[in-house]
Amino acid sequence: MRLGLLASGRGSNAEAILTAIDDGRLDAQPVVLICDRAGAPALEVARRHIVPAELIERASYATREAWSTAIRDCLLANRVDEVALAGFAAILDPVVVDAFEGRILNIHPSLLPAFAGSVAPEPQAAALREGVRSSGCTVHIVTNDVDAGPIVAQAAVPVLRDETVESLSARILVEEHRLYPEVLQWVAEGRVRIAGTKAFVDQAP
Ligand code: GRF
């Protein structure tokens, strides 16, 4: 499985995925990491793991469509089979989503469909504001409806007394780093099926 990563910031999920590949827990070949922000730590993560990094910034393109087309063409040029959004802070346009239909995964720091449509740390802050007793993370397939594609896996964490956005985010992040490489391995094994609005994971043979 030729894997493309898209990241905008810290890059800890990219780090977890690339470490799983290095350790032999994830059978994938990371062929490119695309970043839309100059200076993002995610670029350094790619460099350390010897993965080619491409900076494709929105500001370098006249239109959003031209920028999206550049992202799509970079993924196609690298013959990417599967795309993992790993802290990619922008919404992907249909030009990318349609070219890789059903083959783009995202991780979101809440139990979707709760607290959709915003980027970290807003979903964690919303969980505290609403007083929910559990939150967590969701790996889902990306469609043109933001944060609403088929759910592949979730991990729940309890919301503790005296919780802060930082403490909740940190405990959710531990689960993100465990879950995302695991789901990618299921995809590599051909075990994730999409049926309408739902995803199903077949048993390991
Ligand atoms: C994570 O909380 C992830 O769920 C969300 O954005 C954050 C990215 O963190 N999509 P990192 O860049 O992977 O460290």
Residue 107 near ligand 1, beta carbon < 6 Å: yes
Predicted local confidence at residue 205, as pLDDT: 80
Per-residue pLDDT tens digits for 111-123: 999 999 999 999 9
Q: Which atom of ligand 1 is nearest to the CA of 173?
A: 2
Q: Tell me the whole-structure pTM to 2 decimals.
A: 0.97
Per-residue pLDDT tens digits for 25-64: 999 999 999 999 999 999 999 999 999 999 999 999 999 9
Average pLDDT over residues 4-17: 98
Q: Which two tokens stand for residue 193?
A: 């099926």
What is the DSSP code (8-state) at residue 90? S
Best probe residue, ligand 1, of 36, 167, 173, 184 (max atoms within 8 Å of C-beta): 173
Give residues with Cβ within 8 angstroms of 159, minimum separation 6. 127, 128, 132, 133, 134, 135, 168
Q: Which atom of ligand 1 is nearest to the CA of 121?
A: 2
Nearest-CA residue for ligand 1 atom 7 is: 87
Give residues with Cβ within 8 angstroms of 121, minimum separation 6. 109, 165, 166, 169
What single string gives the DSSP state of each residue in 39-84? Answer: T-HHHHHHHHTT--EEE--GGGSSSHHHHHHHHHHHHHHTT-SEEE
> How many whole angstroms from 140 Cα to the centroid of ligand 1?
14
Per-residue pLDDT tens digits for 55-112: 999 999 999 999 999 999 999 999 999 999 999 999 999 999 999 999 999 999 999 9
Phi, psi of 29 (to 5 degrees): -110, 110
> How many whole angstroms from 77 Cα to the centroid of ligand 1?
26
Distance of CA 180 to the CA centre of its chain: 8
Strands (E), 104-143: 104-108, 134-141
Predicted local confidence at residue 79, as pLDDT: 98
C-alpha triplet 189, 192, 196: angle, nearest 5°: 160
**How far is it, in rounded angstroms, from Cα 128 to Cα 111?**
13
Residue 37 near ligand 1, beta carbon < 6 Å: no
140 is catalytic: no
